[in-house]
Amino acid sequence: MREAGRGLLAAAGALLAMAVAASAGLALLGARDLGALTAAVVALAMGGSAEVGAVPAAGLPVAVRGSVEVMPLGVTLAGAVVLGWVLLRRREDRLLVRGAAAAVAFPLGVGAFAWAAQGKLSLPDGVATGGCVRNGGSPRLPVSGALDAGFSVSAGPAMAGAVAWTLLVVGACWVLARYPVRAGSVGWPAGGITVLCLTLAWAFGGPAAAGGVLLVLPQLVSGVLLLGLGVPWTVTGLPCAPDLAPGGPATWVAAAVLLACGVAVRSRRPGSPVRRAVASAVRFAPAVGAVLAVMTLLTRISVDVSVGAFGLSLPVFAARLTANPLLALVAGLAGGAVAGFAGSLLADGISVSSRAWKR
């Protein structure tokens, strides 16, 4: 019973961490009604989809309906870190019992968040009639004036995603318990990237930019890495879409990030520097390829809007953000191999230089 209680505590801690991250990001973005919106973001972080309905304030018999599918992976990552950390506090003792309790409690908690994710949105007049000035107009909704809107999140997909997510975290904890690694080799680079991105966002874009980065930081990092490795992002249905072509500054950013990670996770097995570099490349390449391929699937964004009147429904807007997961896998394998090999040689060179300087 004690171990089951620890599993329940882990699930509660993960939900609390996700709620704190979601509310902090929304507060920085200037959102109102933080209670319902925070619940919605937590449910979306587990794979739920948001449904939005709006009607003109003037009372016309027209209804606007939309669905949004996006995972704020910054919130997802906060929950994963806390859940895994609590489960591994006693890594050698009955991990599967704690994991089973968390796998039952966490989806129920996510379902409660999805149930609470219902509220009102007050949309300004420009939402219905605004367009993209740069490209001569995005699709315009055939309504004018202010819109009274409400939102909700479906509980079923969110709970199903929570089950899969919890089992994945428990599986990762089981692997770490059997094959311990130094947490600092991963934690320090991840923490450094997080602090750097939040600081730059606040400095150049203010609190709102920092709030957005807090919610979707993993998407931003993986997106830059993929662009730097030559994998394009495809945006459809959005006339104002930014240019997401590979190359440019993203190449240098991706090289620096992967090289830093390659240094951090280098192999420390005895042997020649070249042999250690090869071992690092073989170990690092599959990890980078798998992570980037999965991230292309989790980073996909889908928005659909339709207008209904007199029993008829007319699609008026659909936007997608996607990337090719197979291409991401290949690029990640190549980039990870190069970064692992070069990072290991660089770390060995720094170590040798440091010893020579001390003499």
Query: Is residue 286 located within the same domain as residue 341?
Result: yes
| Distance between CA atoms of residues 151 and 65, nearest Å | 10
For 297, other C-beta atoms within 10 Å of its C-beta total 12
In a domain, 246, yes or no: yes
Torsion 17-19-21-27 (CA) sign: negative
Query: Is residue 162 located within the same domain as residue 194?
Result: no
What is the pLDDT, as a whole number, of residue 108? 95
| Distance between CA atoms of residues 262 and 345, nearest Å | 10
Query: Is residue 224 located within the same domain as residue 88?
Result: no
- Tens place of pLDDT for every residue, the chain, 359 residues? 788 888 999 999 999 999 999 999 999 988 877 888 999 999 999 988 888 887 766 666 777 788 888 999 999 999 999 999 898 876 667 888 999 999 999 999 999 999 998 887 655 444 444 445 445 457 454 444 456 678 888 889 999 999 999 999 998 888 877 766 555 555 666 777 788 888 888 998 899 999 999 999 999 888 889 999 999 888 887 776 666 778 788 899 899 989 988 888 787 778 788 888 999 999 999 999 999 999 999 988 888 888 877 777 778 788 888 899 999 999 999 999 999 999 989 888 876 555 544 44
In a domain, 57, yes or no: no
Which residue's entry shows tokens 């908690």?
Answer: 109
120: tokens are 């009102």
Domain assignment of residue 323, given as a range = 184-359
pTM score of the predicted model: 0.83
What is the pLDDT, as a whole number, of residue 352? 59
In a domain, 141, yes or no: no
Give the largest Cα separation in the chain, rounded. 86
What is the pLDDT, as a whole number, of residue 41? 94
How buried is 33 (Cβ within 10 angstroms: 0-12 exposed, 13-18 middle, 19+ buried)?
A: middle
Query: Is residue 201 located within the same domain as residue 349?
Result: yes
Residue 229 identity = L
Which DSSP category does 269 fall into?
-
In a domain, 61, yes or no: no
Alpha carbon distances (Å) from 157 to 31, 111, 164, 166: 25, 9, 11, 14
Query: Is residue 289 located within the same domain as residue 330?
Result: yes
Which DSSP category does 138 fall into?
P
The answer to whether the beta carbons of residues 113 and 39 sit under 8 Å apart is yes
Query: Is residue 237 located within the same domain as residue 252?
Result: yes
Q: Of the candidates 164, 180, 196, which is a domain's last residue?
A: 180
* Run of H or E including 69: strand 63-69
Strand partners, 84: none
In a domain, 125, yes or no: no
In a domain, 59, yes or no: no
